[in-house]
Structure 1
Amino acid sequence: MPQSELPPFYSTYSPNIPEILWKNKLTLAITTYQAGKVIFISASSEEGLIQLPRDFKKAMGMAYHNGKMAIATQEEVVVLKNTPSLAKGYPKMPNTYTGLFMPRALYFTGEVDMHDMAWGQEGLWGVNTRFSCLSLINDEYSFEPKWKPKFVSDLVPEDRCHLNGMAMKDGKPEYVTALGTSDSAFGWRENKTKGGVLMHVPTGEIITSNLAMPHSPRVEGNKLFVLLSATGELISVDQQTGKYDVMTKIPGFVRGMSRYGNLLFIGLSKMRKSSPTFKNLPIAQESIFPGVIVVDANTGNIVGHIRYENSLEEIYDIKIISNMARPGILGVNTDDFRSGLSMPNQGFWAIPNEEGDEKSKEE
């Protein structure tokens, strides 16, 4: 079928992907700022996938914990909560979803280019790329700066080092990645392909340098994984020495990573040749398709993939939603979510009565 005739976000995939999601009751959530979407990918059976895309303007980093999800958008952070009491009776798709993520809070951060996010002991953390710092996201300020690299002298909106990735440990930020160590506006761009660093947050020390556009650091057990986007490499870093081993090389710009068991789900982007940031990267010539690559965390072997044929070119983040075979999600750009009324143990959908006013139907 010609690409022009394919439905939006058409994908192909290795046969084991539906089986993995189906048997383990998993759903993948991915963000694509290029398409302005959050997409839920679930198994419809052991042999097929089903997708649910929702509009979120310039969707970037996500945080997920205990049924609650935060999504960084162009000017806000949206917080959603899984609401089982509303899932079954969702008026547009009744008896369809095993969970339903409903918007419950909106933080007006402003356009700070928020990247990785995670919940920790102090609340919701975000990598504030424009101000080169780690911030807490709350209802007191646009953001509350909590940490910055030693080489950054001022908190100003100049994206001095392109701070981007954050790995949590014991409820606190442990490691961050940046594309450079510049202290001038957008200075990281001068050596973007090999000026990247991995930093230890508690001490502020740089533990690994000369990295090829590092992203998505993740502490998993006693292992620290990092993606080198410019070379398409997944590396495992020794947390004591900073030395690393290349586990595998993927033919594309890798960014966004989440783990389930021994499987790493990694986002793969096809670089825009017109982009001044990406067009000269060696990996841009090898970038064969956008999608998701699944890697065995023990061996580094690639064991599966999802390939997008249209609509989507770049992925920023990936999160695994466990114990939900097919959750739904509502965005804030339509009024659907406003009719969903939830309480701790029950929920109601507001529906019009005969006089045109709304009444509530208990679920």
Structure 2
Amino acid sequence: SPKPTAKTSSFEITASPQFAAWLAKYHLSLAFTTYQTNRLFFISCQTNGRLKFHERLFDKPMGLYADGERLYMSTRYQLWQFDNLLEPQEKYGECDRLYVPRTSYITGDLNVHDVVLDDAQNVIFVNTDFSCLATLDPNYSFVPLWQPPFISKLVPEDRCHLNGLAMVEGKPKYVSACSATDTATGWRNHRRDGGVVIDVEQNEIIATGLSMPHSPRWYQGKLWLLNSGTGELGYIEKGKFAPITFCPGFVRGLAFWGDFAVVGLSKLRSKPFTGLALEERLKAQGNTAHCGVMVIDLNTGQIVEWVHIAETIEELFDIVVLPNIRQPEALGLQGDEVQRLVTFPNSGGIVTTKPTVKRPSIGQAAPVAGLPQASEQPKPPVAIKYQRVYNLNRANALEYDALTYPSLKQRWQTQPPKGEVFGISAAVEGSLVGFVIAEQVSSETADIISLLVLPNYRRQGIGTKLLIYLEKESRQQQCQQLTLSYQSSSLTEVALEPILQKLQWQTPKSNGEWCQTNKLIKSSVKPTIQYHSLQNLTVEQSISYNDLTFPKIKTRWSRQQPKGQLLGRVAEVEGQKVGLVLAEVFNSPPETEVISLFVLPEYRHQGIGKGLIQNLETDLKALGCTQMKVVYKSTPITTLALEPLLKQQNWQPPQVNFLLGKTTTEKVSQAPWLRKYPLSNKFTVFPWSELTDTDKQQIQSLDYPTSLSPFGNTQPEPLNSLGLRYESQLVGWMVTHRVAADAIRYSTMFVDKRFQRLGRGISLLSQSILRQVDSTVPYCLFAVAEENPAMLQFVHKHLEPYLTEVTYSQVAVKQLGG
């Protein structure tokens, strides 16, 4: 049966049950590229027998070539050379091969596909845009070495989609192309059967009738090839393609080891992949295209092992086998490892330099060459500020012309404004990123005359929010209708019209090239807000309100069950639920914790959050509660939205109660202290699940703060919750909890004060972390209480350099009077 192995980033990966064992048996690792998600991946087998997936971000990685201690990889406009940083027998964490991006050759954007080394160690690559084989030269972007006989001139037009290169005895011998055309992107009309293989030395076509062939490779006396458009692995014999295996995907990327071929598969995602025989064959089988890797026995043609990648990744490009390497990794261009890990003659291995405390430069950091541009990477959440802009006129509005579409400057040359002009701006860190402008053409109607969001900030809902806020502003100005006229285009079809439909505008009416639409605005009378009490809620009932909770109540109950009575208040406007507060009431000690507070975005800034808290207080006083508290993670949202509300309602100032840290096992495994403090033979580390009654009695005699108790209502994580004994006496614990499928929280650590100064706490923590490192759970969370100064000092001094995120948990309290 399939074996779920890992979920790294947003990529869900499943492998055949024996895939890891196959890698271990032949002492292999694999590497592959995916330009679709801008990543270089490594697949290897860990010492515990589980698969390990290691990824690094690069800008459109494609061709990949392995040569001893080096890797070569083509990207968008660079060709990278990676060198192994480790000496023989040296390890970095658990990895035995650490590739560092040592040299980058700037080639320009040539759409480079396959890349190889010849027998003189020269880099040769397939220059797809210019339809030729090329090499590097310090004086040029590239130097052409050969072009197909049917290509009349070197121009960046991707005339035949030249893509693959096979070497024989260290020299270029065979290439693959999707067609033998000599016109710009002419190959696109010959995808089904126009593919060819060309003998470079003889300068002639030796095989035709192929469907988008890729990855020619000379191996064991045969010219192997992937006939991508039919999903087949095979070889060329007497000018014909002889298939041996059908794979359920667009095959691309081919490597060999022993009697096995390793093949990359892609889904049929983009337009160039449609209309192929592969698509028809899969449909006839009732199957769909897969993305992943397949290992094929060359003697039988059987698929013996496989890896399937779900979720985000849909296309792979190239793949290589890394022999005699157990756990390879690479330094990326993000993070600080590539800056801080250095070597030099007689350095005795890797030297780690001190981290930079603060950049000396002024302004934003420069973009890193080799990483995808910001618009191509997943965008981190940003704080967007929306603001009303009044009293716009022809003079001051033109200052914003770069943020108008259509251009107001051009509009007002022929249509000067006749009414009041007003707008809503969207800003990030003080810089405008979006603007909507309207003109009040009558006492009842406002006409939208411009709407624009800067390209790097699109697809984040900013345009929708601008229109929502504009509608509210128009309502306050007693407008009863918004109108919009726009010139129909492919851009308005995909960008504007879906927003209008979502906001319930009238269906646009077409008048030639122009479209008109409108939306009636409801009365500006402030809606009546009703608050309804929710008493004695069950877990299931609270989950039914999940969309109205923050933090999500469903997530909370997946981690822990309620220990007290659940109650709340729901806010309704015209029968629609628009806000909710939930609380858990405890009898011992007698207090109440607010566990969720949320108001729908379009109903914020109307006092609903305040009303929910006030009504909850009334309910709690009726139950005889004397105190309520809220515990929350400090974020820009809580600083701007929650804390002012608490202050207004006379809550006590929030106090920090926990430091919260987050990292990955990959990053924390690099900490040198993980293996620096071994325990003597008098100490025994044991799984917390094996705690005995005698141990529990001994715990009662230890002097530890209540917050560091190892006991609670949530089941400890069995993977790495540990106890520590000195001789036969229990003297410490490290209790962890699984807070998500891919994350473990290090909740409570204590070591008897007799052993604290000897570093036994670090030893225990290290043992726990190393057990997670050897697992497939990638994320580590640390929660350190403020009343544990020794541990806080350790975190700041030793752990913080290996954390990817540091925030704080805060608690606020309010005493309830009679």
8 A contact 1:252–1:283 mirrored in 2: yes
Q: Which residue in the other structure is 1:348 paired with?
A: 350
Paired residues, number: 347
Q: Shift of residue 335 of structure 1?
A: 3.8
Matched residues in 2 for 1:276 and 1:203: separation?
34
Indicate which of 262, 265, 271 corresponds to 1:276. 271
Spell out the pairing of 1:199-348 with structure 2 (5 A cutoff). 199-238=198-237, 241-272=238-269, 275-284=270-279, 286=282, 287-343=288-344, 346-348=348-350
Between 104-113 and 44-53, report the one with greater CA deviation. 44-53
What is the SS of the residue equivalent to 1:352? coil
Q: Which residue in the other structure is 2:382 paired with?
A: none
2:162 counterpart letter in structure 1:
L
Q: Which residue in the other structure is 2:110 paired with?
A: 112
Q: Which residue in the other structure is 2:57 paired with?
A: 55
Q: Which residue in the other structure is 1:196 paired with?
A: 195
Indicate which of 9, 12, 29 corresponds to 2:11. 9
Q: Shift of residue 344 of structure 1?
A: 5.7
Between 338-347 and 311-320, report the one with greater CA deviation. 338-347
Matched residues in 1 for 2:81 and 2:354: separation?
27
Q: Which residue in the other structure is 2:153 paired with?
A: 154
Matched residues in 1 for 2:227 and 2:351: separation?
46
Q: Shift of residue 280 of structure 1?
A: 2.5
What is the SS of the residue equivalent to 1:203? coil
TM-score by length of structure 2 reads: 0.41
What is the SS of the residue equivalent to 1:60? coil
Q: Which residue in the other structure is 1:129 paired with?
A: 128
Q: Does 1:18 align with 2:20?
A: yes
Q: Shift of residue 192 of structure 1?
A: 1.3
Q: Shift of residue 353 of structure 1?
A: 8.3
* 1:355/1:182 CA distance change after superposition, 3 Å: closer
Q: Shift of residue 141 of structure 1?
A: 1.8
Q: Which residue in the other structure is 2:163 paired with?
A: 164
What is the SS of the residue equivalent to 1:64? strand
- Name the Cα RMSD after superposition: 2.4
8 A contact 1:180–1:192 mirrored in 2: yes
Structure 2 residue runs without a partner (length 5+): 283-287, 360-671, 673-818
What is the SS of the residue equivalent to 1:137? strand
Q: Shift of residue 18 of structure 1?
A: 0.5
Q: Shift of residue 262 of structure 1?
A: 0.5
Greater helix share, 1 or 2?
Answer: 2
1:264 counterpart letter in structure 2:
A
What is the SS of the residue equivalent to 1:112? coil
2:318 counterpart letter in structure 1:
D
The structure with more radius of gyration? 2
2:209 counterpart letter in structure 1:
N
What is the SS of the residue equivalent to 1:142? strand
8 A contact 2:85–2:350 mirrored in 1: no
8 A contact 2:236–2:242 mirrored in 1: yes
Matched residues in 2 for 1:261 and 1:54: separation?
28
- Identity %, equivalent residues: 38
Between 324-333 and 60-69, report the one with greater CA deviation. 324-333
Greater strand share, 1 or 2?
Answer: 1
8 A contact 1:107–1:138 mirrored in 2: no
1:276 counterpart letter in structure 2:
K
What is the SS of the residue equivalent to 1:299? coil
Q: Does 1:38 align with 2:37?
A: no
* 1:46/1:307 CA distance change after superposition, 3 Å: farther
2:129 counterpart letter in structure 1:
R
8 A contact 1:80–1:101 mirrored in 2: yes
Matched residues in 2 for 1:353 and 1:236: separation?
52
Matched residues in 1 for 2:358 and 2:192: separation?
60
Runs of 4+ off more than 3 Å: 85-90, 343-348, 353-357
Matched residues in 2 for 1:278 and 1:354: separation?
47
What is the SS of the residue equivalent to 2:19? helix
Indicate which of 90, 99, 102 corresponds to 1:101. 99
* 1:48/1:149 CA distance change after superposition, 3 Å: same
What is the SS of the residue equivalent to 2:140? coil
Matched residues in 2 for 1:6 and 1:277: separation?
29
8 A contact 1:115–1:129 mirrored in 2: yes
Q: Shift of residue 66 of structure 1?
A: 1.2
